[in-house]
Amino acid sequence: MIPLFSVSQVRAADEFAINTLGLSGTVLMENAARSLYEEILQNFESINKFLPVGIVCGKGNNGGDGFALARQFLINGYNVITISLADNTKLEGDALINFNVLKKLLNYYKESKLIKYSSLRDLKKLDGCQVIVDALLGTGTMGQLKPPYASIIEKMNELKAYKVAVDIPSGLDLNNSTGQIVFQADLTVSLAEFKTGLFYGKGYKCSGKVVKGSIGIGGEYFNQLEIQNYLSEPEDALNGVPVRDKDAHKYSAGKVLVIAGSGKMPGAALLAANSTINSGAGAVVLAFPETIKHIAYQKLNEVIVLAYNDEGREYLTSANLEELSEKIEWADALVIGPGLSKNPETLQTCLQIIKKYKNKKIILDADAIQCLSGGLFKKVALNNVIFTPHHGEFAGLLGITTEELQEDILNYGKDFCKKTNAHLVLKGAPTITFTPAGEALINSTGNASLAKFGSGDVLSGMIGGFVGANKEIENSVISAVYIHGLISDLLIEQKSELSVSASDLIQNITNGIKFVSNSII
């Protein structure tokens, strides 16, 4: 896993470099500028010396990095247009030093310019730049932007160029990855180390490709720090892929009972069941209303259908628990929820199953999650439960609005798992897995093609298949989430994001698993 660091941890690294190692802030800024220059050239391969580079600098150290970067471009043969929000009377420290060096150096580079910002009209001078670098604001950004930053960022976003953010996109509050107006970067060079807020929320949306830049202190300092946030990578996915013994049989390879579907939403159950059987489980049974069992029989070939007596209601009730009990006991894992409906009788039945079979590994998805709303999740043993809600469902479970959740998503997720001892797979862009230990594992695969009915049902089935086969939770969950997103990444190499379906995901589960296995071994 790739460790992700907080704002305070990265700031402490600067202090360590200056106070302990004895490096000056000017040297750190120089190292950052060289790294920024190298990363821009490496990631924007079509850059050329016939078109100018534009850099917009703020008043703090982020602006200082921008001035130093402008010098790197100058001495390597590029024309640079630098717009500064401050002159030498408003700058101080290392930023002032680099401003003055750049100003003097420009006497020898007549086609390049250093412009003091006075109005939005100044940004018109960046028209025609092949690269626009945002060196406005740094990690201290919090809350609503003060003028003129919001209007400057909006104007920069309109410019047609390859856009690069120095350390973070301006306007982003890294503490909770929020921001109303944020620079839309194609590339973000995260200085010193990867910062958590760049990989979820507004950071995920606005940072583009995130690469690591150096300030010249290496990584050993960061290796000593306590980490709670991580970004997943292929090695993590491989750890949870089921491996069968040579003498395995269908029942030893993982037995999963999927309790899903209703008259109003039968399709979700079929997707989840098919996903489960394609994800490593040796035996999968779908518990499904008898009234509509013909739908399941028509669509399922490898999954056994257990049609319970719904007495024409087309949904699950507590009256069905007795006829399901044998298969619940039989199963290594249960997947409960896809298409099950929010009927009060159904939700009460789900709650009864969770209470009675607390030693069973349960993937609780979609409608079934609401059986624990109203604070009930605080009163039930959930250490074997894996919750798989989207943001709206999780907010509903907590009794807050989706907007409140997204303002502090990591803390809400961590707090929930530490209190319940459950695992939480919070589906979204990106999907984040939270563990009982208080860790957040941000998934690094997936794309907008997953924003479609059924993709979440497929994920629940994959988790069920992996957990059932492995008889283990954490590695199975991390692997299933990673491969689920990877499948969509592989599919958009062949299809449009708009046309990828849940059925496509199921049909390509094997390709996702093989891709991970082949890329590591």
pLDDT of residue 144: 84
pLDDT of residue 351: 98
pLDDT in tens, 360-418: 999 999 999 999 999 999 999 999 999 999 999 999 999 999 999 999 999 999 999 99
The three-point CA angle 397-400-405 to 5° equals 95
Element (H, E) at 385: strand 385-388
pLDDT of residue 462: 98
pLDDT of residue 143: 79
Query: What are 513's two structure tokens?
Result: 């698993």
pLDDT in tens, 472-509: 999 999 999 999 999 999 999 999 999 999 999 999 99
Average pLDDT over residues 342-353: 97
pLDDT in tens, 111-120: 999 999 999 9
pLDDT of residue 194: 97
Residue 335 per-residue DSSP state: E
Phi and psi of 43, rounded to 5°? -100, -20
Three-state DSSP at 448 gives helix
Query: Going from the N-terminus, what domains does the chain have, and what CATH number goes with each?
Result: 2-227 (3.40.50.10260), 234-520 (3.40.1190.20)
pLDDT in tens, 226-268: 999 999 999 999 999 988 777 777 787 799 999 999 999 999 9
Distance CA 388, CA 466 (A): 14
pLDDT in tens, 283-336: 999 999 999 999 999 999 899 999 999 999 999 999 999 999 999 999 999 999
pLDDT(454) > 90: yes
- DSSP lists the bridge partners of residue 132 as 54, 163
Query: What are 92's two structure tokens?
Result: 């101080």
Distance CA 273, CA 318 (A): 22
Is residue 151 within 8 A of residue 183, CB to CB? The reply is no
pLDDT in tens, 14-47: 999 999 999 999 999 999 999 999 999 999 999 9
Predicted model pTM: 0.95
pLDDT of residue 521: 59
pLDDT in tens, 150-196: 999 999 999 999 999 999 999 999 999 999 999 999 999 999 999 99
pLDDT of residue 44: 96
- Within a 10 A sphere around the Cβ of 124, how many other Cβ atoms? 11
pLDDT in tens, 92-150: 999 999 999 999 999 999 999 999 999 999 999 999 999 999 999 999 888 789 899 99
Distance CA 334, CA 281 (A): 12
Query: 517 or 250: whose pLDDT is higher?
Result: 517
Q: How confident is the model at residue 73 (pLDDT cuts 50, 70, 90)?
A: very high
Positive or negative torsion for Cα 450, 453, 459, 462: negative
